[in-house]
Structure 1
Amino acid sequence: MHQPINLLIADDHALIREGLRKILSIEPGINVVGEVADGQQAVDFCHHNQVDIVLMDINMPVMNGIEACRKIKESKPHIGIIALTIHDQDEYLFELIKYGIAGYVLKDVHPDQLVKTIQGVARGESFIPPAMTARVLAEFSRLSCGDHTEKKHHLLTEREIEVLKQVAKGQSNKAIAKTLFISEKTVKNHLTSIFNKIGVEDRTQAALYAIKEKLVEI
C-alpha cells in the first residue's frame, strides 16, 4: 500500500485554505498535514514536519511564495512545490522554475486536475501549463541570445537523450522505465547524469531545456 501524500496548504486567504482542505481531505491518499497563512510559516512548517507537497500561494504577506519556494528547496529539496496563483504571469513562473518548482496551477483549476497534479508531482513529474511553457521558453531563448557555446546535450549518450525526451513529455520514472524497457533505478541514474551534463537541477528545467533545444516538440 502506498504511503499517503503529506500536503501543506499555504495561502493567506482563510476561505481558500478551507476550500482546498475540504476538497483534498476527502481524497484517498492525500493527507493534509497543515495550513499556513504566509511564506515564512510555510518554511517553518516544512522544517519541523514531514511534508511531501506544498500548495503555495504566490502573493502572501511576510514572505511571498517565490522566496518561500527558494528557502524550502534549499533545505528540503525532496519537497515538491505546486504554485497557486490567480494570474498566469510569466515572471512568476520564470522565477519559480529557477528555484525548482514542480507545478504551476491557476486557482480556478478543476479539483480533479488539482488532485492529478498533486499525485503526479508526488511521483516525480512536473506540471507547467503548455501555453505558459511556450512563453517561458521564449524568455530562456532571449536570455541566452548570443551564447555560441557548444550545445550541452551533445555530451549526452543516446540512451540519456531518450530518457530526456520522455521527461520532456511529462512521463514519470515508472513510465519511462516501462517505455524504454529498463529499471526505475536505471532511469534515476540516467537523470542524475543528465542533470549534471546539461547543468540543471530538476525535471522541469530539464524538460524546458529539451524543448528549447528542439529535442522534442510541444
Structure 2
Amino acid sequence: MPDSINLLIADDHALIREGLRKILSIEPQINVVGEVADGEQAVAFCRQNDVDILLLDINMPIMNGIEACRKIKEIKPQLGIIALTIHDQDDYLFELIKYGISGYVLKDVHPHQLIQTILGVARGESFIPPSLTTRVLAEFHRLTSGETEKKHHLLTEREIEVLKQVATGQSNKDIAKALYISEKTVKNHLTNIFQKIGVADRTQAALYAIKEKLVEI
C-alpha cells in the first residue's frame, strides 16, 4: 500500500463532499486530491491526474456512477473504486462488480468503517457489505448454474491456495507472507487464476471460490 493514498470524491451534493473530506482528513494516509460533481468530471479527472482510490456516488447527473466506473476501469484498470450510495439494491451492485469495483459502501456507514474500507482497497482487498453478500452469491450461482465444468480443476495446488486467501480478504502482501512467496509471484498467480476461472478481478474470484465451497464463510 502506498504511504499516501490519493483519493478523489465524486458526489453531486456539495455538503456530502465537504463532510467526506472532513471525515477522511482524520486519516493521515489519505490525501483528498479533488472533488467532482458528476461522472463525466470523474472520468476526466482520473484520466488527467494521479488517483489511487475513487469514492464514487452512483446517482449523479450527466453520467451516473455505473457508467463512470466502466469508463474509468478502461482507462486505469488498477484504480480502486468504492461505490458510496444510499441504495441497498442488487442491480447496482451486480453491474459494479461486473465492471471491477473494489468496494460497495452504504452512506450510513460509520466513518471508521469507511476509512478502513479505503485502506483495505488500497492494499488490494475488496469489500461487499455482509447484508448483500448472500444475495450476490445467489445471483452469481444463478448466472453460473448451467456450467458443467468446474473451472477450478484447471488450477494448480498453489493457485488454489492463493484463491482461498483472496476469498478470505487477504491482500497480496498478506498472501505472500502466508505462503512464503514474493508479491510479484502472487500477482502472477492471480493473473493465471483470473484467466482460468474466467473472472475479471478479485471480487469475482472471491465469489467464485465461495460458490464452489473452496472456502467457508
TM range (shorter): over 0.9
Aligned-residue offset at 1:2: 4.4
Deviant stretches of 4+, over 6 Å: none
TM-score normalised according to structure 1 size: 0.96
Q: Which amino acid aligns with 1:189?
A: N
> Are 1:112 and 2:112 an aligned pair?
yes
Distance 2:80 2:147 in 1: 31
Could you tell me how far 1:179 is from its partner in structure 2? 1.4
Which residue number in structure 1 is paired with residue 82 of structure 2? 82
SS in 2 for 1:104: strand
Distance in structure 2 (CA, Å) of the matches to 1:152 and 1:41: 40
Distance 2:130 2:108 in 1: 16
Aligned length, in residue pairs: 217
Paired position in structure 2 for 1:136: 136
Q: Say if 2:2 and 2:122, in contact at 8 Å, map to a contact too.
A: no
Taking every aligned residue pair, what percent have the same amino acid on both sides? 83
For 1:157 and 1:27, locate their aligned partners in 2 and report how far apart those are by CA, in whole Å: 40
CA distance in 2: counterparts of 1:11 and 1:112, whole angstroms: 20
Distance 1:209 1:134 in 2: 13
Q: Where does the alignment leave 5 or more consecutive residues of structure 2 unmatched?
A: none
Q: Please, what TM-score do these two structures have when normalized by structure 2?
A: 0.97
Q: Offset of 1:27 from its aligned partner?
A: 1.6
**Aligned partners of 1:170, 1:98: CA distance in 2, in Å?**
18
Indicate the SS of the match to 2:50: coil
In structure 2, the CA distance between the partners of 1:192 and 1:65, relative to structure 1 (3 Å rule), is same
| CA–CA separation in structure 2 for the residues paired with 1:38 and 1:2 | 27
1:167-217 per-residue CA deviation (whole Å, 9 max, x = no partner) reads: 000000111112112221211111111111111111111101111111112
What CA distance in whole angstroms lies between the structure 1 residues aligned with 2:76 and 2:161?
A: 29
Per the alignment, residue 189 of structure 2 pairs with: 190
SS of residue in 1 equivalent to 2:189: helix
Give the residue type in structure 2 aligned to 1:197. Answer: K
Residue 20 of structure 1 corresponds to 20
Aligned residue identity for 2:41: Q
In 1: Cα distance, 2:204 partner to 2:32 partner? 28
Is 1:206 the counterpart of 2:205 in the alignment?
yes
Distance in structure 1 (CA, Å) of the matches to 2:140 and 2:194? 17
User: Which sections of structure 1, spanning at least 5 residues, go unmatched?
Assistant: none
Q: Which is worse superposed, 13-22 or 177-186?
A: 177-186
CA deviation map 1:80-127 (0-9, x unaligned): 000001121111000000000000001111111111111110111101
Distance 1:55 1:178, change over 3 A: same
For 1:208, give the aligned amino acid.
L
Does the 8 Å contact 2:103/2:126 carry over to 1?
yes
Q: Within 2, Cα distance between the matches of 1:85 and 1:196?
A: 31
Matched, 1:153 2:152: yes
SS of the counterpart of 2:131?
helix
Deviation at 1:26, TM superposition (A): 3.3
CA displacement, residues 137-158 of structure 1 (integer Å, 9 cap, x when unaligned): 111112223332x111000001
Give the CA RMSD over aligned residues. Answer: 1.2
What does residue 177 of structure 2 align with? 178
Question: Aligned partners of 2:91 and 2:128: how far apart in 1?
Answer: 14
Give 2:52's aligned residue. 52
**Distance in 1 of aligned mates of 2:50 and 2:167:** 29
Is the partner of 1:31 in helix, strand or coil? strand
The whole-number CA distance in structure 2 between the counterparts of 1:76 and 1:184 is 21
Specify the code of the residue in structure 2 equivalent to 1:143.
Answer: L
